[in-house]
């Protein structure tokens, strides 16, 4: 049987009982595959890599080496959460690399979206390679490949989203959740004891806030974006929209308009709210946000975030507009 094909008899994992059975089965499989060797994992803090990390820690403990690269384009508190959950709570063998300056220096004055993505992706690979080359005795590479990745690429992507390790570094892959759909991954993550903030985390692009800080990234505008985005997420949690909206975020363009603060004119950036629902990300509808929630978000962002003086709402479905702005 093709090991990358989900068996027709495989039950959808919808309950803790089913998740626990899956975890026990995978723990046994991983131990049989890995033995006493070491496994390397790029831990982004996203749902898939976090669930793989927790599962492998349960199976092989300190034989798993997690590398978390903070490229400076994470949302507020995300790298801190990775350290708190994995190093402090799960006692993981975690290498944390703060590469913020390295990434932001390379991105200085780069406004073309595709070029920004290439710089971020390419540098991430370099940082991960550098860390991997310092390690001794790594025989396996773990990945958070899930079933839609295999379906979309017919098994190709699963073996090419490794993080671009050098061709001469031959690792056997460990992919414990490769037959699961995203909703099942979340159920397994909860059964493993991961916090819901991590397990229910909405989709987040690889280049992070780099594609939401529109145009050339500056540190002050990136910081304003991060703070405004944190307020939006907090208010969606309070009013319950975070449970029903698939993806919601702030984008901040590289343009200013005149405003008033402390009875003086001052120029600031606009924060653009984007909130969409989708089943497959191929098309998306706009979530209706109650006006009282919009007013509260607007008041908080304009009062609390340095440099932002307007809040706008993006009402464009996909198609015509893509979900991300860049």
Write out pLDDT tens, residues 270-319: 999 999 998 877 899 999 999 999 999 999 999 999 999 999 999 999 99
Encode burial over 223-248: b for 16+ CB neighbours within 10 A, e otherwise: bbbbbbbbbbbebbeeeebbeebbbb
Q: Which of 167, 199, 231 marks a domain boundary?
A: 199
pTM value is 0.87
The percent of residues in the chain predicted with pLDDT above 70, rounded, is: 94
Does residue 1 form part of some domain?
Answer: no
Mean pLDDT of all residues in 236-257: 96
CA atoms lying within 13 Å on the CB side of residue 62? 1
- Asked if 307 contacts 221 with a C-beta cutoff of 8 angstroms, the reply is yes
Share of the chain above pLDDT 90, in %: 80
Regarding whether 71 and 30 lie in a shared domain, the answer is yes
My answer on whether 233 and 291 are in the same domain is yes
Q: What is the arithmetic mean of pLDDT over 3-28?
A: 94
In a domain, residue 72? The reply is yes
Say if residue 185 is in the same domain as residue 224: no
Structural domain contains residue 8 = no
* Span 129-149, average pLDDT: 90
User: Do both 188 and 221 map to the same domain?
Assistant: no
> Is residue 169 predicted with pLDDT exceeding 80?
no
| Total of domains in the chain | 2
- Of 52-61, 62-71, 155-164, 249-258, minimum mean pLDDT range: 155-164
Query: Residue 26 sits in a domain of what CATH number?
Result: 3.40.50.620
The mean pLDDT value for 178-183 works out to 93
Asked whether residue 66 falls in the same domain as residue 146, the answer is: yes
User: Is the pLDDT confidence value at 163 over 80?
Assistant: no
43 with 102, same domain: the answer is: yes
The answer on 232 and 146 residing in a single domain is: no
More confident residue, 274 or 171: 274
Report pLDDT for 164. Answer: 45
Is 147 a domain residue? yes
Domain that holds residue 271: 212-313
Q: Are residues 190 and 222 in the same domain?
A: no
- Whether 62 and 129 map to the same domain: the answer is yes
CA distance 47 to 27: 19
Strands 247-251 and 138-142: unpaired
State the chain's mean pLDDT as an integer: 92
| CATH number of the domain residue 236 falls in | 3.30.300.10
């Amino acid at each position: 049987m093709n090991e990358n094909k989900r068996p027709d008899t495989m039950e959808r994992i919808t309950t803790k009982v089913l998740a626990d059975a899956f975890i026990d089965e995978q723990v046994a499989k991983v131990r049989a595959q890995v033995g006493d060797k070491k496994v390397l994992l790029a831990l982004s803090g996203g749902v898939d890599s976090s669930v793989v990390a927790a599962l492998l820690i349960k199976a092989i403990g300190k034989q798993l080496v997690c590398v978390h690269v903070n490229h400076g384009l994470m949302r507020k508190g995300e790298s801190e959460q990775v350290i708190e959950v994995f190093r402090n709570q799960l006692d993981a063998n975690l290498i944390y690399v703060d590469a913020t300056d390295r990434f932001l220096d390379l991105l200085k004055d780069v406004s073309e979206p595709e070029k920004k993505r290439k710089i971020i992706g390419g540098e991430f690979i370099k940082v991960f390679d550098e860390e991997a080359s310092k390690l001794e005795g790594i025989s396996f590479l773990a990945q958070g490949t899930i079933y839609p990745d295999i379906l979309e690429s017919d098994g190709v992507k699963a073996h090419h989203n490794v993080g671009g390790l050098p061709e001469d570094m031959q690792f056997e892959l460990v992919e414990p959740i490769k037959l699961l759909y995203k909703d099942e991954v979340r159920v397994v993550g909860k059964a493993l004891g991961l916090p819901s903030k991590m397990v229910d985390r909405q989709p987040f692009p690889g280049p992070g806030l780099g594609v939401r800080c529109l145009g050339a990234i500056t540190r002050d505008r990136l910081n304003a974006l991060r703070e405004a985005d944190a307020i939006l997420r907090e208010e969606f949690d309070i009013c319950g929209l975070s449970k029903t909206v698939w993806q919601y975020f702030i984008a901040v363009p590289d343009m200013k308009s005149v405003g008033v603060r402390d009875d003086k004119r001052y120029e600031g950036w606009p924060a653009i709210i984007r909130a969409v629902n989708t089943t497959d990300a191929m098309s998306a509808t706009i979530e209706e946000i109650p006006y009282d929630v919009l007013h509260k978000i607007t008041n908080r962002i304009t009062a609390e975030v340095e440099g932002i003086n307007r809040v706008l709402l993006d009402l464009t479905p996909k198609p015509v507009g893509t979900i991300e702005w860049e």
